[in-house]
Structure 1
Amino acid sequence: MESAYDRSNGVIQSLLDTDYYTFTMMQAVLHQHPNVDVEYQFIVRSKENLGHLIPEIRDELEKLAGMRMRDDELRFLFDRRRREYLTADYEQFLGLFRFNLRYILVNEVDGQLNIRVRGPMLHCIMFEQPVLALVSELRNREKYPEVELEDVTRRLYQKFDWLRKNASEEELAEFRVSDFSTRRRLSFKAQQEVVDIMRRDFPGVFVGTSNAHLAYQFDLPLIGTMAHQWLMVHQQLSRLRESQNAALENWVREYRGRLGIALTDCISTDFFLKDFDLYFAKLYDGLRQDSGDPIVWADKVLARYAQLGIDPLTKDLMFSDGLNFEKCLPILRHVRGRAKFGFGMGTSLACDVEGVEPLSIVMKLVRVHGEPVVKFSDDPIKNVCEDASFLQYAAQVFAVRDINQRGGV
């Protein structure tokens, strides 16, 4: 039997072992916001006590700081046949990039693990995914040390069997899934095994992975565009009311029509769609749902496209909020024939083992140049803001009624 954990190497073994949107946002930051200072906060939504992991976390960060992007990794990422929009100056920058540990603080506050990243966004943006992945794996291998790789694969094939029994061949032909499981995976080995099985045996359509290291290893398409932090950083770089428009405009300025999937739930989907006019609806290929009720979200988005006179069948709807196969199937049945669609699946792919409770963690942007920013999710438990006054002000600006911060900081 083979363990689901590799204890002989560092948790992060490649600078490519991160989500692709980190690289795409990093290029835009290099070109547009190279001097912006930011602050990120690590959040344990489940409130699990992880303070005892601090020595191991610091050890893993030291290993991370000693890594660099290898020449073969750079050649893969900057393959002009696939990603001609990634630029030569950015390639040179990544070739020189190193993690600088002076920008990250790891300690214990009120008995809880506290991780904060503070410094230039250009140098801090790369911390998010490796920190989440290494904390998740360190916790899992301590709490569930006996998990075998076979446990991971057996569960995945059980889910394939369920899908074949409950979905028609026509539905499976449209069941497009991408791997988004880096940040809360059981372990790197588990995610690696899952991606390998998905590309070979998934009964639907496996589109690719957000993890650049695994895309390189298995020659898969890289999936990803932007994350919430791209929208949030503009809240302190422009007028708050215009921040979403500024973020969407700057993204188009950087990628000229490429990577055209926009997140809708940074300041609530309702407000997003008010600003999502014909100009943006034509510029962007589609939208991504990351919180709230996916059926309600789909109907709102489809109604907005119809109102603007745009055929939704020309647009992509990406669903990525806590999905598993059971949740995906009713969404598929609701939107098929009405728009193009796909599913980004995370925890339920690479951390779904009987008896294992996945760790609920995120790392969110909380300040820009020392000033607060806010995320108004379609699910209030995912709201983020450190400043109560700014939270109230932003709620008025964006017409958000429910600002319950159960999941905030």
Structure 2
Amino acid sequence: MVDIATRVYNHKWKIDPIVRSLIDTDFYKLLMCQSVFRNKPDTQVTFSLINRSKTIRMADLIDEGELREQLDHIRGLSLSRGESTWLRGNLFYGKRQMFRHDFMEWFENLRLPPYHLEKRDGQYELTFEGSWPEVMLWEIPALSVLMELRSRAVLKDMGRFELQVLYARAMTKLWQKVETLREIPDLKLADFGTRRRHSFMWQDWCVQAMNEGLGDGFVGTSNCLIAMRRELEAIGTNAHELPMVYAALAENDTLLAQAPYDVLSDWHDEHDGNLRIILPDTYGTEGFLQNAPDWLAGWTGIRIDSGDPATGAENAINWWKARGEDPRDKLIIFSDGLDVDKIRELSLQFTGRVKVSFGWGTLMTNDFRGLVPDDRLAPFSVVCKAVSANGRPTVKLSDNPEKAMGPASEIERYKRVFGVGKQDSFEVVV
């Protein structure tokens, strides 16, 4: 096992690059990338970094030269032979050859496109422009770089023993969470913590700890590189990016209202089983379910990623019942801002009524709260989202208005088209 504190103390970034592989990314990005490669390969998009936690002034913490070095390093990465073999031949969700030959040929020759970086008001403006299949693969590595450079900036003046104690305390904190989770009957939990992790080495340690500590209760990791190296299941389905871009491409309000279902129709053509998971909250869960075509009720499950998770689950259960489906045969994946108390609460509330699973993110792979003075390692909320498609702005409404994004006029239009009324706000912690 890696001595993380010693490696941090002796950091030489050329032997410890933050992103070491193009598959140091979430599995759902590769699944979505293949879908985009098949259905919308010529769409031109812009992705942009959005720091929701304005009090964290990233440009004051992170050296621009270091940031550019890490981003330039990523641009030089390509798939290794072993990584390509794993993607081509491994069993994913019970299926061989999940990734098509034409997609793999394209991916094996890919180098990520250029980036644009500026400083403004204590923040970095980081944007990526180009064809959708290429640009979308910047999202996870860009976030990983920003988060880990922030961690390195806070840790750089700590001595060797101070670092040893810090990581010992963080390990103890995570293991106490493991012990709590062990007490939850029939737990099914996966690591969803790549995008806002403390560091790659720390995420890898956390995954190993969860795998040993929870046994069959730990079902895998979203991180493809860690899944490959640790011989674990790669976990993930689809995300808000798909309906956001499809919606931006819609020529009128009628096509806009249909766009989220067009996304899932394309997905339906490619995947079955546990990959048929609905993410309904991009433009409001209530309206999405009310207007959903009947064939979607036959899908395997739903992921709850914003708003009150219990309310979202109850709405899903009621929808399945109204469509003649037995909720006990369905899967609900909770994935928004989870920690152990909420995981336990939701498990007790819904186990037996539906199949329950959890995608545990930032508070698994980056919970250093209370471990350094002034809480300078506390996690914060930063995202990298598609902000335009073919020159048109993208919009996300969410079940939590605090997560909404897009021009104000377009947000109002989307609310009208999707019938979104007054919403309750929830603090966005991570």
Q: Does the pair score TM above 0.5?
A: yes
Residues 335-380 of structure 1 deviation map (CA, whole Å, 9 limit, x = unaligned): 1111111000011111112423113211111111110121111111
2:42 and 2:202 mapped to 1: Cα distance?
A: 38
Q: Would you say 1:192 and 2:204 are equivalent positions?
A: yes
Alpha-carbon separation, structure 2, partners of 1:200 and 1:27: 32
Q: Find runs of 4+ consecutive structure 1 residues off by over 6 angstroms.
A: 403-407
Is residue 229 of structure 2 the alignment partner of residue 217 of structure 1? Answer: yes
Spell out, residue by residue over 1:191-237, the C-alpha distance to the aligned partner (whole angstroms, 9 max, x if none).
Answer: 00000111111267000000000000111111001110011111033
Query: Is this contact kept in 2: 1:364–1:384, CA < 8 A?
Result: no
Letter of the 2:277 partner, please give it: I
Structure 1 residue 62: deviation in Å? 0.9
**Identity across aligned pairs (percent)?**
31
Task: Look up the SS of the partner of 1:78 in the other structure.
Answer: helix
SS in 1 for 2:343: helix
Query: Aligned equivalents of 2:106 and 2:43: distance in 1?
Result: 17
Q: Secondary structure at the match of 1:358?
A: coil
Partner of residue 91 from structure 1, selected from 104, 111, 127: 104
User: Partner residue of 2:147?
Assistant: 136
Map Cα deviations across residues 152-184 of structure 1 (whole Å, 9 max, x no partner): 3211112223345xx3xxx33x11110000011
CA distance in 1, matches of 2:245, 2:405: 13
Equivalent position amino acid for 1:154 in 2 = T
Corresponding residue to 2:263 among 227, 247, 260: 247
The answer as to 2:180 corresponding to 1:180 is no
Aligned to 2:173: 155
Deviations 1:11-54 (A, max 9, x none): 10111100001100110111111100111121111111111422
- How far did residue 144 of structure 1 move? 3.4
- Give RMSD over aligned pairs: 2.0
How far apart, CA to CA, are the structure 2 residues paired with 1:58 and 1:351?
A: 23
Counterpart of 1:391 in structure 2 is 411
Q: Which runs of 5+ in 1 are unaligned?
A: none
Q: Secondary structure in 2 aligned to 1:116? A: strand
Tell me the equivalent position of 2:213: 201
Q: Decide whether the 8 Å contact of 1:317 with 1:339 is kept in 2.
A: yes
Answer yes or no: is the 8 Å Cα contact 1:178–1:210 preserved in 2.
yes
Shift of 1:84: 2.6
Q: Offset at 1:76?
A: 0.9
Cα deviation 1:55-112 (Å, max 9, x = unaligned): 21111011111111001001111225434331111111111011122xx211112332
The letter of the residue matching 1:334 is: Q
- Residue 405 of structure 1 and its aligned partner are, at CA, apart by 12
- Counterpart amino acid of residue 295 in structure 1: A
Q: How many residues align?
A: 397
**TM-score, normalised with respect to structure 2:** 0.88
Higher mean C-alpha displacement, 77-86 vs 108-117? 77-86
Q: CA deviation at 1:400?
A: 1.4
Could you tell me the TM-score, scaled by structure 1's length? 0.92
Distance 2:274 2:187 in 1: 24
Would the aligned equivalents of 1:160 and 1:203 in 2 still touch at CA under 8 Å? no
Distance 1:152 1:256, change over 3 A: same
Matched, 1:42 2:49: yes
Q: Which secondary structure state, in structure 1, belongs to the residue aligned with residue 19 of structure 2?
A: coil
1:328 to partner: Cα distance:
0.6
SS at structure 2 position matched to 1:61: helix
* Partner Cα distance (2:291, 2:355) in 1: 22
> Could you tell me which amino acid in structure 2 is paired with residue 58 of structure 1?
R
Q: 2:23 aligns with which of 5, 8, 16?
A: 16
* Contact 1:2–1:150 under 8 Å retained in 2: no
Mapped to 2, the partners of 1:37 and 1:402 lie a distance apart of 33
Matches within 5 A, 1:205-354: 205-238=217-250, 239-255=255-271, 259-282=275-298, 284-353=299-368, 354=370
Letter in 1 for 2:43: V
CA distance in 2, matches of 1:69, 1:275: 41
The answer for unaligned runs of 5 or more in structure 2 is 372-376
Sort the Cα spacing of 1:330 and 1:361 in 2 relative to 1 into closer, same or farther, 3 A: same
